[in-house]
Structure 1
Amino acid sequence: MSAGVFPKTAPGARTFRSGGIRFCGWAWMVFAVLNLADLAWRGRDIASVVAAAVMLLGCGIAYAVALRPRIVADEEAVRFHNLLRDVRLPWEAIDRFEGGDAVYAYVGEERRRAFVLQTSPRARAKSELKARREDKKLPEAVAEYMRGRTATDFAVEQLRELAAGHKEDPGTPATVTSTWAWPAIIALAAPGILTVVTIVIASV
């Protein structure tokens, strides 16, 4: 998990995202670019067009699943940038943050889930095993703090600290909004349609 400043966020905003998944996304992009260059150079048949369409679809999936999802916390709100939806939660509307298998924000009885930093039971068990192995290499206080904690846990802790620093303002609107993430939708739909069309043409 990495927490930092995302280039397109407001000054002072903090961004939480998965470094490992993001690396995989960029790795696919590089792989796809190299293969598309090879197809453009040597491809001369419909099979090459189908392969190129599939590569582009893979790029769309990599963007929507690995590169775009993040949690952004700024002075006004927390934003969950999920696969196809963006959720904006003003600080005043958030009752609490909870962790576990994912980062959750509670607004009254409603629970909002962030797609990024999801943790499976297997990943949590693996994290605990790794922490035990590292115990001897770290000071006792640090080892105790790290033991059994995942990237999801650290993100929730930091979001709680940020929430505590934002006092409620009764005069500030606290409406949770959810909008479609059109760049992600287009990144998936356009190459998806192209892939279907090229496969149909190739099968005729």
Structure 2
Amino acid sequence: MKPLISPGGRVLGWGWVAAVALLLFDLALRGSGASSLVAGAVLLITVGVAYVLWLRPRVVPTAEGVRLVNPLRDTFVPWSEFTWADVTDVLRVHAGERVFRSWPLRENRRANVRENLRRAGDGPAPLLDTGADADPRSMRPVDLAARRLREEAERRKADPANRVAAAADPAEGAGPSDPAAPAEDAAPHGPVTVWAPDALGALGAPVFLLVVVLLLV
């Protein structure tokens, strides 16, 4: 199952990165002095913000569980602990009594959010039937993502042999774009939430650069 992302966020993120690249190129050609260095550092900070808010967040189903990649932290929920996925204002993953929210997969229409929250307030029974027989072509993207996670969890739990075979491929669910992936080889027994070094670095490095520039000018 492929990672679940927000296409709109990706477009915004890469669009801003492209705009900043042009601005930095213009600064390199025309800029001079301390003000150009400060402006360049500030632009790099905005690239870090775009990465953290728009490019990094995703939901990654893997052989061992589902990873919620949020702006600054990652949460890994093993399939053995996964009990449900639903949508209120965002996609949520349930692990028993614990509920984890996904940053990128959101419901944008207020009427739908109110209806989802009402269902959530009524208890689990209505949620269990929501969209069970719906045509995937007619479902909203976030609801379809929640349904696919439920189906993946059911498949993984029902086929232990398939789960073991998938776990033998260390590349599944990880890659250069996911450097903060938890160590799934350790097979955690419950949900784990960790700070993401790449996100902290993307914000911290340009801020440090700006501080250095301000101290030197």
Report the TM-score range of the alignment, normalised by the length of the smaller protein. 0.7 to 0.9
> Is the 8 Å Cα contact of residues 93 and 175 (structure 1) preserved in structure 2?
yes
Which residue does 1:176 correspond to in 2?
191
Contact kept? 1:70, 1:80, Cα under 8 Å: yes
Q: Deviation at 1:121?
A: 3.9
Q: Percent identity?
A: 36
CA distance in 1, matches of 2:68, 2:39: 33
Structure 1, unpaired ranges of 5+: 1-12, 126-140
Provide the rounded CA distance (Å) in 1 between the counterparts of 2:190 and 2:102: 18
| Residues 47-126 of structure 1 mapped to structure 2, 5 A cutoff | 47-122=35-110, 124=112
Question: Does the Cα contact within 8 Å between 1:91 and 1:174 map onto a contact in 2?
Answer: no
Aligned to 1:135: none
Asked if residue 160 in structure 1 is aligned to residue 160 in structure 2, the reply is no
Question: Residue 131 of structure 1 aligns with which residue?
Answer: none
State the shift of 1:43 in Å: 1.1
RCO greater where, 1 or 2, for CA within 8 Å and sep 6 or more?
2
Contact 2:91/2:146 (8 A) holds in 1: yes
Contact 2:70 / 2:104 at 8 angstroms: preserved in 1? Answer: yes
Structure 2: which amino acid aligns with 1:83? P
How many pairs are equivalent?
Answer: 170
Separation (CA, whole Å) in 2 of partners of 1:89 and 1:20: 26
Classify 1:121/1:201 alpha carbon distance in 2 versus 1 (closer, same or farther; 3 Å).
farther
CA RMSD after TM alignment:
2.5
Offset of residue 74 of structure 1:
1.9
Structure 2: which 5+ runs fail to align? Answer: 114-133, 161-186
Instruction: Classify 1:145/1:28 alpha carbon distance in 2 versus 1 (closer, same or farther; 3 Å).
Output: closer
Shift of 1:167: 1.6
Rate the CA distance shift 1:164–1:37 in 2: closer, same or farther, 3 A. Answer: same
Distance change >3 Å, CA 38–CA 91, structure 1 → 2:
same
Retained in 1: the 8 A contact 2:77–2:190? yes
Q: Which amino acid aligns with 1:157?
A: R
Contact in 2 for aligned 1:87/1:177 (Cα 8 Å): yes
| Alignment check: 8 A CA contact 2:9 2:104 kept | no
Contact 1:103 1:156 in 2 (8 A): yes
AA at the equivalent of 2:42? V
Whether 1:45 aligns to 2:1 is no
Q: Distance in 1 between matches of 2:112 and 2:137?
A: 15
The residue matched to 2:76 in structure 1 has which SS?
strand
Query: Which one of 8, 11, 20 corresponds to residue 23 of structure 1?
Result: 11
Equivalent position of 1:186 in the other structure: 201
- Going from structure 1 to structure 2, the CA distance change for 1:123 and 1:152 (only over 3 Å counts) comes to farther
